[in-house]
Amino acid sequence: MEDKKYPHVGIGVMIQNEQGQVLLGLRKGSHGSGEWCFPGGHLEMGEGFFTCAQRETKEETGLDVDEFELISVSNETRYLESDGEHFLVLGIKAVYRGGEPKLMEPNKFLEWGWFDLDNLPDKLFQGTDVMIENFKAGVMHNPKTC
């Protein structure tokens, strides 16, 4: 019998500092290498969306976040052909409580940086790009990405 493949659930966490800048990490080693993304990762079995957002942010940046809000839903297939990856991505906005982001997983990221929403790096990870588009448009999802 052939094993069926199913999409994964990914969580992206949009964190803004006091100046309204968003935190992005430069990916390395996995699909999307060389692209900038929000902190985030895979939803684990039995885990809540917001718990995942808090855990992934802490694991990747060392930062504590809270006051979560679901702001985006998208169907990510850009990496299906190249990496065999298909994700349902939930975008979570979280409140930043201060501190400097640290490179907690140097095998996955090269650096973290704060960026103005109107001056973002050129290469954005698909889930992050869609989250930012949805956030700027004030919509939960875009029919083109679902």
Tell me: the pLDDT tens digits for 94-137?
999 999 999 999 999 999 999 999 999 999 998 999 999 999 99
Cβ–Cβ < 8 Å for 103, 109: yes
% residues pLDDT > 90 (the chain): 79
Backbone angles phi, psi at 96, to 5 degrees: -85, 130
Residue type, 75: N
What is the structure's pLDDT at 76?
A: 84
Enumerate the β-bridge partners of residue 14.
Answer: 93
- Boundaries of every domain in the chain: 9-136
Question: Of 3.40.120.10, 3.90.79.10, 3.40.50.1100, 3.40.630.10, which CATH number belongs to 9-136?
Answer: 3.90.79.10
- Cα separation, 107 vs 96, whole angstroms: 24
What pairing do the DSSP bridges indicate for beta strands 109-115 and 22-27? antiparallel
Q: For residue 51, what are the contacts with CB-CB under 8 A and spacing of at least 6?
A: none
Average pLDDT over all residues of the chain = 92
